[in-house]
Amino acid sequence: PGSYTVYVKLYKPNGALSTGSSSPNGYSYSCPVKMYRNTTWYILSGWGNNTAGHWKAGNYRWEFWLNGEKIGEKSFKIY
């Protein structure tokens, strides 16, 4: 339990890391998280765009990092 910063990497369909002007070095974004005992899931802040059609079709992959260690990943496809 405690307060931590989770770092997130979002990989585009071409394999490139998606970053913005405020992205931490080597990551797409970071998010403060308060962790509790016996909790197996957490909600992270989003990262996106208000403009429709911003996401191109293809396979995307999220990676989640804590203290320099990858703690999870998830892939999704946009048609």
Question: DSSP letters of the chain?
Answer: -EEEEEEEEEE-TTSPEE--TTPPTTSSEEEEEEE-TT----PPPP---SSTT-SPSEEEEEEEEETTEEEEEEEEEE-
pLDDT at 46 over 80: no
Report the candidate in 48, 51, 57 with the shortest Cα–Cα distance to residue 13: 57
pLDDT of residue 33: 92
State the Cα angle at 68 between 61 and 47, rounded to 5°. 40
- Predicted local distance difference test score (pLDDT) of residue 47: 62
**Which one has a higher pLDDT value, 23 or 49?**
23
pLDDT higher than threshold 70 for residue 25: yes
Over the chain, what is the mean pLDDT? 90
Q: How confident is the model at residue 54 (pLDDT cuts 50, 70, 90)?
A: confident
